[in-house]
Amino acid sequence: MVWRVLCAAMEAVMLLSAQSGKPADDLIVPGVRVGPVTATSTEASLIKQLGRDTVKQQVDLGEGDFEPGLVIYKDDPTRRLEIVWNADVPAHPEYVFICRDANYPLPHCRWRTAGGVTLGTTLKELARANGKPFKMVVWGSDVGGHVLFDGGTLDHGTTLFNRLNLTLEPRRENGHYVPKLTKDEEDQVYDGEKVISSTNPVLQKINPLVVVLTMEFPRRSGK
Protein backbone atom coordinates (compact mmCIF):
# COMPACT_ATOMS: atom_id res chain seq x y z
CA MET A 1 0.00 0.00 0.00
CA VAL A 2 2.78 2.44 0.91
CA TRP A 3 4.57 1.65 -2.38
CA ARG A 4 1.43 2.40 -4.41
CA VAL A 5 0.77 5.66 -2.55
CA LEU A 6 4.35 6.83 -3.09
CA CYS A 7 4.25 5.96 -6.81
CA ALA A 8 0.94 7.75 -7.26
CA ALA A 9 2.28 10.84 -5.48
CA MET A 10 5.41 10.89 -7.62
CA GLU A 11 3.39 10.52 -10.82
CA ALA A 12 1.15 13.42 -9.75
CA VAL A 13 4.12 15.66 -9.05
CA MET A 14 5.71 14.81 -12.39
CA LEU A 15 2.43 15.38 -14.22
CA LEU A 16 2.19 18.88 -12.77
CA SER A 17 5.83 19.47 -13.71
CA ALA A 18 5.15 18.38 -17.28
CA GLN A 19 2.15 20.67 -17.55
CA SER A 20 4.16 23.59 -16.21
CA GLY A 21 6.65 23.22 -19.07
CA LYS A 22 9.52 22.18 -16.81
CA PRO A 23 9.87 18.42 -17.24
CA ALA A 24 12.38 16.53 -15.15
CA ASP A 25 15.08 14.73 -17.15
CA ASP A 26 14.72 11.08 -18.16
CA LEU A 27 11.17 10.61 -16.85
CA ILE A 28 8.30 8.78 -18.54
CA VAL A 29 4.83 9.96 -17.48
CA PRO A 30 2.42 7.63 -19.31
CA GLY A 31 0.16 9.49 -21.72
CA VAL A 32 1.88 12.80 -20.90
CA ARG A 33 5.55 12.77 -21.89
CA VAL A 34 8.83 10.96 -22.40
CA GLY A 35 11.46 13.43 -21.21
CA PRO A 36 11.14 16.48 -23.49
CA VAL A 37 8.52 14.88 -25.78
CA THR A 38 5.01 15.80 -24.65
CA ALA A 39 1.53 15.29 -26.05
CA THR A 40 1.62 18.89 -27.31
CA SER A 41 5.12 18.82 -28.85
CA THR A 42 5.53 19.53 -32.55
CA GLU A 43 8.41 18.88 -34.91
CA ALA A 44 9.26 22.58 -34.90
CA SER A 45 9.16 22.90 -31.09
CA LEU A 46 11.42 19.89 -30.53
CA ILE A 47 13.94 21.00 -33.15
CA LYS A 48 13.99 24.46 -31.55
CA GLN A 49 14.37 22.97 -28.07
CA LEU A 50 16.95 20.25 -28.82
CA GLY A 51 18.69 21.45 -31.97
CA ARG A 52 21.42 19.07 -33.10
CA ASP A 53 20.00 16.25 -30.98
CA THR A 54 17.13 15.90 -33.49
CA VAL A 55 17.06 14.51 -37.03
CA LYS A 56 14.18 14.07 -39.46
CA GLN A 57 14.06 10.42 -40.49
CA GLN A 58 11.75 7.67 -41.74
CA VAL A 59 10.60 5.61 -38.74
CA ASP A 60 10.20 1.85 -39.14
CA LEU A 61 6.71 0.66 -38.17
CA GLY A 62 7.42 -2.97 -39.02
CA GLU A 63 6.45 -5.24 -41.91
CA GLY A 64 8.07 -2.86 -44.41
CA ASP A 65 6.04 0.21 -43.38
CA PHE A 66 7.77 3.53 -42.72
CA GLU A 67 6.46 6.98 -41.84
CA PRO A 68 8.21 10.37 -41.70
CA GLY A 69 9.24 11.05 -38.13
CA LEU A 70 11.77 12.65 -35.84
CA VAL A 71 14.59 10.83 -34.05
CA ILE A 72 16.07 12.31 -30.89
CA TYR A 73 19.51 11.36 -29.51
CA LYS A 74 19.99 9.10 -32.55
CA ASP A 75 23.53 8.00 -31.68
CA ASP A 76 22.91 7.34 -27.98
CA PRO A 77 21.14 3.94 -27.49
CA THR A 78 20.45 4.79 -23.84
CA ARG A 79 18.37 7.85 -24.82
CA ARG A 80 17.21 7.29 -28.42
CA LEU A 81 13.58 8.26 -29.08
CA GLU A 82 11.76 7.76 -32.40
CA ILE A 83 8.61 9.83 -32.90
CA VAL A 84 5.72 9.06 -35.25
CA TRP A 85 3.28 11.93 -35.82
CA ASN A 86 -0.53 11.94 -35.67
CA ALA A 87 -2.95 13.63 -38.10
CA ASP A 88 -3.30 16.89 -36.17
CA VAL A 89 -2.41 20.21 -37.82
CA PRO A 90 0.24 20.88 -36.72
CA ALA A 91 1.09 17.25 -36.01
CA HIS A 92 1.77 16.02 -32.47
CA PRO A 93 3.41 12.78 -31.30
CA GLU A 94 1.25 9.66 -31.66
CA TYR A 95 3.87 7.04 -30.79
CA VAL A 96 7.34 7.30 -29.29
CA PHE A 97 9.59 4.25 -29.54
CA ILE A 98 11.92 4.28 -26.53
CA CYS A 99 15.50 2.92 -26.70
CA ARG A 100 14.39 0.74 -29.60
CA ASP A 101 16.54 -1.78 -31.47
CA ALA A 102 18.93 -2.15 -28.58
CA ASN A 103 21.19 -5.18 -28.81
CA TYR A 104 20.81 -8.08 -26.35
CA PRO A 105 21.86 -8.16 -23.58
CA LEU A 106 19.87 -4.98 -23.07
CA PRO A 107 21.86 -1.84 -22.33
CA HIS A 108 20.93 0.72 -19.73
CA CYS A 109 17.97 2.87 -20.85
CA ARG A 110 17.76 6.25 -19.16
CA TRP A 111 14.02 6.73 -19.66
CA ARG A 112 11.90 5.32 -16.85
CA THR A 113 8.64 5.91 -14.98
CA ALA A 114 8.52 7.34 -11.47
CA GLY A 115 8.05 3.75 -10.30
CA GLY A 116 11.24 2.63 -12.08
CA VAL A 117 9.75 0.80 -15.10
CA THR A 118 12.16 0.81 -18.03
CA LEU A 119 13.80 -1.40 -20.63
CA GLY A 120 15.01 -4.55 -18.85
CA THR A 121 12.45 -4.42 -16.04
CA THR A 122 11.47 -8.00 -15.17
CA LEU A 123 7.97 -9.45 -14.90
CA LYS A 124 8.31 -9.76 -11.13
CA GLU A 125 9.51 -6.16 -10.79
CA LEU A 126 6.63 -5.00 -12.99
CA ALA A 127 4.07 -6.81 -10.81
CA ARG A 128 5.57 -5.25 -7.67
CA ALA A 129 5.50 -1.78 -9.22
CA ASN A 130 1.88 -2.29 -10.31
CA GLY A 131 0.83 -3.48 -6.86
CA LYS A 132 -1.11 -6.41 -8.33
CA PRO A 133 -0.78 -9.07 -11.05
CA PHE A 134 -1.30 -8.21 -14.71
CA LYS A 135 -1.87 -10.24 -17.87
CA MET A 136 0.36 -11.04 -20.83
CA VAL A 137 -0.35 -12.29 -24.35
CA VAL A 138 1.61 -15.53 -24.77
CA TRP A 139 4.38 -15.66 -27.36
CA GLY A 140 3.90 -16.92 -30.89
CA SER A 141 2.18 -13.96 -32.61
CA ASP A 142 2.91 -10.34 -33.55
CA VAL A 143 1.55 -9.20 -30.18
CA GLY A 144 3.17 -11.99 -28.16
CA GLY A 145 4.56 -10.75 -24.85
CA HIS A 146 2.33 -7.66 -24.80
CA VAL A 147 1.38 -6.59 -21.27
CA LEU A 148 -2.29 -5.93 -20.45
CA PHE A 149 -2.99 -4.11 -17.20
CA ASP A 150 -6.38 -4.36 -15.53
CA GLY A 151 -6.06 -2.04 -12.59
CA GLY A 152 -3.04 -1.24 -10.46
CA THR A 153 -0.55 1.61 -10.25
CA LEU A 154 0.66 1.17 -13.84
CA ASP A 155 -2.78 1.00 -15.48
CA HIS A 156 -2.82 4.41 -17.19
CA GLY A 157 -4.70 3.47 -20.33
CA THR A 158 -8.30 3.22 -21.36
CA THR A 159 -7.77 1.19 -24.56
CA LEU A 160 -6.61 -2.37 -25.23
CA PHE A 161 -3.09 -1.08 -25.77
CA ASN A 162 -2.40 1.06 -22.75
CA ARG A 163 -0.69 4.44 -22.98
CA LEU A 164 2.69 2.96 -22.04
CA ASN A 165 2.98 -0.20 -24.11
CA LEU A 166 5.28 -2.92 -22.76
CA THR A 167 6.40 -6.15 -24.41
CA LEU A 168 8.10 -8.93 -22.46
CA GLU A 169 10.49 -11.54 -23.79
CA PRO A 170 12.25 -14.41 -22.01
CA ARG A 171 15.98 -14.80 -21.85
CA ARG A 172 17.21 -17.25 -24.47
CA GLU A 173 20.41 -19.18 -25.04
CA ASN A 174 21.04 -21.10 -28.27
CA GLY A 175 17.35 -20.77 -29.13
CA HIS A 176 16.11 -22.18 -25.81
CA TYR A 177 14.39 -20.49 -22.88
CA VAL A 178 16.59 -19.74 -19.88
CA PRO A 179 15.98 -21.40 -17.49
CA LYS A 180 15.13 -24.42 -19.63
CA LEU A 181 11.45 -25.41 -19.89
CA THR A 182 9.77 -28.73 -20.44
CA LYS A 183 7.52 -29.20 -23.48
CA ASP A 184 4.43 -28.86 -21.30
CA GLU A 185 5.77 -25.62 -19.80
CA GLU A 186 6.57 -24.18 -23.24
CA ASP A 187 3.03 -24.97 -24.38
CA GLN A 188 1.67 -22.78 -21.57
CA VAL A 189 3.52 -19.65 -22.73
CA TYR A 190 3.84 -20.20 -26.48
CA ASP A 191 0.54 -20.48 -28.32
CA GLY A 192 -0.14 -17.15 -30.05
CA GLU A 193 -3.73 -16.77 -28.85
CA LYS A 194 -3.95 -17.08 -25.07
CA VAL A 195 -3.72 -14.40 -22.41
CA ILE A 196 -2.30 -15.55 -19.08
CA SER A 197 -1.66 -14.01 -15.68
CA SER A 198 1.75 -12.83 -14.56
CA THR A 199 1.28 -15.26 -11.65
CA ASN A 200 1.52 -18.20 -14.05
CA PRO A 201 4.21 -20.55 -12.64
CA VAL A 202 6.07 -20.74 -15.97
CA LEU A 203 6.21 -16.96 -16.31
CA GLN A 204 7.39 -16.75 -12.71
CA LYS A 205 10.09 -19.31 -13.50
CA ILE A 206 11.53 -17.55 -16.57
CA ASN A 207 10.80 -13.99 -15.30
CA PRO A 208 10.86 -12.30 -18.76
CA LEU A 209 12.17 -8.79 -19.41
CA VAL A 210 10.68 -5.64 -20.91
CA VAL A 211 12.31 -5.48 -24.36
CA VAL A 212 9.89 -3.05 -26.09
CA LEU A 213 8.82 0.22 -24.52
CA THR A 214 6.48 2.49 -26.51
CA MET A 215 4.53 5.56 -25.48
CA GLU A 216 1.11 5.99 -27.08
CA PHE A 217 -0.26 9.50 -26.75
CA PRO A 218 -4.01 10.11 -26.65
CA ARG A 219 -5.40 11.45 -29.91
CA ARG A 220 -6.32 15.12 -29.84
CA SER A 221 -8.18 15.65 -33.10
CA GLY A 222 -10.19 12.42 -33.29
CA LYS A 223 -8.83 11.72 -36.78
Residue 3 Cα distances to 14, 128, 172, angstroms? 17, 9, 32
Q: What is the pTM of this model?
A: 0.81
Phi, psi (rounded to 5 degrees) for 125: -65, -40
Walk along the chain (223 residues) and give the pLDDT tens digit of each residue. Answer: 544 444 444 444 444 444 434 445 799 988 889 999 999 999 999 999 999 999 999 998 887 899 999 999 999 989 999 999 999 999 999 999 999 865 556 668 999 998 899 999 999 999 999 999 999 999 998 899 999 988 888 886 544 444 889 999 998 888 778 899 999 999 999 987 799 999 999 999 999 999 999 999 876 554 4
Distance CA 80, CA 114 (A): 19
> What residues does each domain of the chain span?
23-216
Distance CA 39, CA 130 (A): 24
Cβ contact 123:208 at 8 Å: yes
| Closest to 95 in 3D by CA, of 10, 51, 161 | 161
Residue 91 Cα distances to 24, 84, 94, 95, 195, angstroms? 24, 9, 9, 12, 35
